[in-house]
Amino acid sequence: SQVFVAFAVLSVIASAITALLFVFTSKRIIMTLSDSRSRLSKTSKRMHTRAIAALRAQSVVPLLIVTLPLNLLMLTNSALPSLPWFFYVIITGMPALQSIFSSLITIYFQTSYRSFFLSLLSPCLRALPIQYVMSS
């Protein structure tokens, strides 16, 4: 059906945008960590180097390997079951979200910049009825 093809095309476009956003956020985080290394002790520099390496390891390749073939399958295979459109959005969006969040979590646990990540998460944390304590 035409609706299915239209959704699949939009899904491919959304995957490409998500991949670009992932590259941009990764680059920004790497730049932030690299700029701050000059003010750190030797141990902290080692931790930051590990964090940057971990972030670079979380490349866009897994995202493209999972998401784009799935989108192409959806685009070319009309025999797929007619499920609600949001089901396909969730399937195609999950690899991108997983890549972004795993990168953020990796850096959060491997650097001393926890307050930086808490500031990124603070709008979400304020929306949730939970309390968090920053440790020094």
pLDDT in tens, 74-105: 666 666 666 666 666 666 666 666 666 666 66
Instruction: Report residue 46's pLDDT band, with 50, 70 and 90 as the boundaries.
Output: confident
Mean pLDDT on 28-52: 66
> What is the pLDDT at residue 103?
64
Residue in this structure with the two tokens 């939970």, named with its chain if needed: 130
Distance CA 18, CA 25 (A): 10
Q: Which helix (H) or strand (E) holds 35?
A: helix 2-36
Instruction: Report residue 13's pLDDT band, with 50, 70 and 90 as the boundaries.
Output: confident
Are 111 and 33 contacting, i.e. CB atoms less than 8 angstroms apart?
Answer: yes
**Helix (H, G, I), strand (E, B), or coil: what is residue 106?**
helix
Are 17 and 71 contacting, i.e. CB atoms less than 8 angstroms apart?
Answer: no
**Helix (H, G, I), strand (E, B), or coil: what is residue 132?**
coil
Name the amino acid, one letter, at 132: Y
Mean pLDDT on 98-115: 62
89: nearest Cα among 29, 4, 22 = 4
Is the pLDDT score of 133 beyond 60? no
Distance CA 76, CA 5 (A): 8
> What is the pLDDT at residue 18?
67
Q: Which helix (H) or strand (E) holds 129?
A: none
Residue in this structure with the two tokens 């969730």, named with its chain if needed: 90
pLDDT digits (tens, 9 = 90+) for 54-64: 666 665 555 56
Is the pLDDT score of 38 beyond 60? yes
Mean pLDDT of the chain, nearest integer: 63
